[in-house]
């Protein structure tokens, strides 16, 4: 038997949101925070065109997409680094700072890839409990020490929903030592409507240790093609590029992302529909008697004990709705189409009525 790294004995593979078989009817996947909409015709066209070139390696630097993003966000192209999903960029960031005995600080509960990727990078996780459903940035700042190399701030926080506000985030960034890389994970940025929540891109330009992480997987509807990126100053970008697996972002994905940026207005209209549905779902749940934290993302969070987490998950599965249970912490429900949301809301109402 080959000798594997001991850390693997302590880890389980990443568990993705599941689908459920619909009992004779339709099924609704509300378990992975994806866009509920199929790709736009213009994006499908770009994909079909790019598919004719798959006998060639892709452009390893994703030049055209990098330039399109730089143009879109008015940042230098050298600040943009792409990867096959932002989770891979996250892994590259960890790879570029990890050394034996170093630590990553992040809130918990938060994105499940943080502990996984931190462990794989050979670093130690320092998990700082949420305050209610929000980041406790004071406690996180207090957890940072000489061993800390990276801090994740997930805003809006997956799976609980709230986003970090500008004053708190700026004060936190100002407290961070320069040797600590601070990753502002904005996977759900396009769904934010609270004007007090900053755009991370306004915070990195005069802070050489700040990285903004974004993705095409959610608002841009390309989860299946795997395109994510980070925006950071040159020294960080250059370090992270050294950790890239060659040709990681394939050219079908690159083409789809470029087409999505061109069709951004249409895609952001879809985001607006999701945001409207988010308000409707949250208000309906509150009306039913649930406690639902404010959410700036494309999901809602119900904090429940272990037994009710499993029971609500099962009740949703029976009506064809896959939601995401989190052990003894609660259930996260992605916002879907109005029809899917109605099916979930009926299941939630019946669940409450049934105890
Ligand atoms: N960050 C957060 C907070 C997420 O929730 C996710 C996806 N669930 C990601 C990053 C990774 O997304 P992707 O790899 O698809 O870009």
What are 36-46's pLDDT values in tens digits? 999 999 999 99
User: CA dist 115 to 11, 13, 107, 112, Å?
Assistant: 9, 11, 11, 6
Q: Provide mean pLDDT across the span 299-319.
A: 97
Q: Is the pLDDT confidence value at 25 over 80?
A: no
pLDDT digits (tens, 9 = 90+) for 311-326: 999 999 999 999 999 9
Quick one: which atom of ligand 1 is closest to the CA of 218? 15
The answer to whether the complex's ipTM is over 0.95 is yes
Q: Residues 64-102: pLDDT tens digits?
A: 999 999 999 999 999 999 999 999 999 999 999 999 999
Q: What is the mean pLDDT of residues 251-262?
A: 98
How far is ligand 1, taken at its centre, from the CA of residue 19, in Å?
A: 18
Of 215, 219, 248, 299, the one to substitute when testing ligand 1's pocket (max ligand atoms within 8 A of C-beta) is: 215
User: Which residue out of 187, 295, 324 has the highest number of ligand 1 atoms within 8 Å of its CB and is therefore the one to mutate?
Assistant: 187
Q: How many CB atoms within 10 Å of residue 276?
A: 12
Residues 270-288, mean pLDDT to the nearest whole number: 98
Instruction: Give residue 23's pLDDT.
Output: 63
Q: Is 34 in the pocket of ligand 1 (CB under 6 A)?
A: no
Nearest-CA residue for atom 4 of ligand 1: 187
Binned at pLDDT 50, 70 and 90, residue 355 comes out as low
What confidence score (pLDDT) does residue 172 get? 98
The pLDDT > 70 percentage for the chain reads 99
Section 166-183 average pLDDT: 97
Mean of pLDDT over the chain: 96
Residue whose Cα lies nearest atom 2 of ligand 1: it is 187
Query: Which pLDDT score, from 0 to 100, does residue 280 have?
Result: 98
pLDDT of residue 26: 81
CA of 329 to the centre of ligand 1 (A): 20
User: Among 21-30, 105-114, 146-155, 232-241, where is mean pLDDT lowest?
Assistant: 21-30
Any atom of ligand 1 within 6 Å of the Cβ of 154: yes
Distance, CA 85 to ligand 1 centroid (Å)? Answer: 7
Q: Which residue has the higher pLDDT, 7 or 181?
A: 181
Q: What is the pLDDT of residue 22?
A: 67
Query: From ligand 1's centre to the CA of 86, what distance in Å?
Result: 6
Domain boundaries, the chain: 6-38+264-354, 41-262
Ligand 1 pocket test: pick from 81, 87, 164 the residue with the most ligand atoms within 8 Å of its Cβ: 87
Indicate which atom in ligand 1 lies nearest the CA of residue 226: 15
Report the 3 state secondary structure along the chain. Answer: CCCCCHHHHHCCCCCCCCCCCCCCCCCEECCCCCCCCCCCHHHHHHHHHHHCCCCCCCCCCCHHHHHHHHHHHCCCHHHEEEECCHHHHHHHHHHHHCCCCCEEEEEECCCCHHHHHHHHCCCEEEEEECECCECCHHHHHHHCCCCEEEEEEECCCCCCCCCCCHHHHHHHHHHCCCCCEEEEECCCHHHCCCCCCCCHHHCCCCCCCEEEEEECCCCCCCHHHCCEEEECCHHHHHHHHCCCCCCCCCHHHHHHHHHHHHCHHHHHHHHHHHHHHHHHHHHHHHHHCCCCCCCCCCEEEEECCHHHHHHHHHHHHHCCEECEEECCCEEEEECCCHHHHHHHHHHHHHHHHCC
pLDDT of residue 265: 97
Q: Is 217 in the pocket of ligand 1 (CB under 6 A)?
A: yes
**The pTM is what?**
0.97
Fold category of 41-262 in CATH: 3.40.640
CATH topology of domain 6-38+264-354: 3.90.1150
Residue 223 CB–ligand 1 contact under 6 Å: yes
């Amino acid at each position: 038997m080959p000798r594997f790294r001991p850390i693997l004995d302590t880890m389980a593979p990443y568990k993705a949101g599941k689908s459920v078989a619909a009992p004779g009817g339709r099924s609704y996947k509300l378990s992975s925070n994806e866009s509920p909409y199929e790709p736009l015709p213009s994006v499908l066209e770009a994909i079909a065109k790019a598919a004719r070139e798959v006998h060639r390696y892709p452009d390893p630097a994703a030049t055209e997409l990098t330039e399109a993003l730089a143009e879109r966000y008015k940042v230098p192209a050298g600040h943009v680094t792409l990867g096959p999903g932002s989770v891979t960029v996250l892994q590259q960031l960890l790879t570029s700072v990890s050394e034996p005995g170093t630590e990553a600080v992040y809130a918990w509960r938060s994105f499940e890839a943080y502990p996984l990727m931190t462990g794989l990078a050979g670093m130690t996780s320092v998990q700082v409990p949420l305050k209610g459903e929000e980041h406790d940035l004071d406690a996180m700042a207090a957890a940072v020490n000489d061993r800390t190399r990276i801090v994740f701030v997930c805003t809006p926080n997956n799976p609980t929903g709230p986003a970090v506000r500008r004053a708190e985030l700026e004060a936190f960034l100002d407290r961070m030592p320069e040797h600590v890389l601070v990753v502002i994970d904005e996977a759900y940025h396009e769904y934010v409507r609270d004007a007090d929540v900053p755009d991370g891109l306004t915070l990195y330009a005069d802070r050489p240790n700040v990285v903004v992480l974004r993705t095409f997987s959610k608002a841009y509807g390309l989860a299946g093609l795997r395109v994510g990126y980070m925006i950071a100053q040159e020294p960080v970008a250059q370090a992270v590029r050294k950790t890239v697996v060659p040709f990681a972002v394939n050219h079908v994905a690159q083409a789809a992302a470029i087409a999505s940026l061109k069709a951004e207005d249409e895609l952001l209209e879809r985001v607006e529909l999701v945001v409207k549905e988010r308000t409707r779902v949250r208000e309906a749940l509150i009306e039913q008697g649930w406690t639902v934290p404010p959410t700036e993302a494309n999901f809602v969070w119900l904090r429940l004990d272990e037994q009710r987490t499993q029971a609500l998950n099962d009740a949703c599965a029976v009506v064809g709705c896959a939601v995401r249970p989190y052990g003894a912490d609660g259930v996260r429900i992605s916002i879907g189409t109005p029809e899917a949301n109605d099916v979930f809301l009926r299941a939630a109402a019946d669940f409450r009525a049934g105890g």
